Amino acid sequence: MASGRPWKLTAAPPVHKTVVAEDHVETKIDLPPFVPPEEAAALLREELRRRHFAEGEGGVMVRQRNGVRVEVGPPGGVRISVEASEDVELPPDNPSPCSCRMRDQLREGLSAAQQRTLGGERERLQRAVTSRLEGSLARLGCELEGIAHRVTAEALKAKARRLGEVKQITEDPQAGSLTIVVEV
């Protein structure tokens, strides 16, 4: 009868981790200087409400669509951000019989192979988030330009009313022109 060595085989369960990626861009909407800053901020808030922004904490106007979050602060500061998270299942790392030192390292965290896999997943998700942000910037840039244009037009009308009697206002949204005739 042959004598054999007993072996204990164990299968480690897969490791589940959550990968998070975020990217953002910050810019500013220039508010018109010919009305008081509080009035310009109120005009900006009103235009943002018209465009389906909701008031958040600290007077920040917020809108979230298709995973893209746009925040406009009271002085016209804009932050456009995209965030995503994904659950990742890492394959179990079942090394062949190993030294006590290697076993201790595995207990402390992920193996080098699992860390590489997790790093690759993070990079993939980060590229996807950045791509989604880049894809939304052109559309949002045009929208922010339109918001600045509307706020400036409303501020000019308010300033004209303070200067005297407004006789005529001609506005061509297609051409982006505004003519105000004021009798002082």
Q: What residues have CB less than 8 Å from 125, skipping those under 6 apart?
A: 19, 20, 21, 84, 86
- Contact yes or no for 133/27 (Cβ under 8 A): no
pLDDT in tens, 139-152: 999 999 999 999 99
pLDDT in tens, 103-120: 555 555 667 777 788 888
3-state secondary structure 106-119: HHHCCCHHHHHHHH
Region 2-13: mean pLDDT is 65
- Contact yes or no for 158/183 (Cβ under 8 A): no
Place of tokens 């894809």: 135
Region 150-166: mean pLDDT is 91
- Report d(CA 120, CA 22) in Å as an integer: 16
3-state secondary structure of 67: coil
- Contact yes or no for 84/105 (Cβ under 8 A): no
Read off the pLDDT band of 127 (50, 70, 90).
very high
Question: Which residue, 152, 155, 150, 157, is CA-closest to 182?
Answer: 157
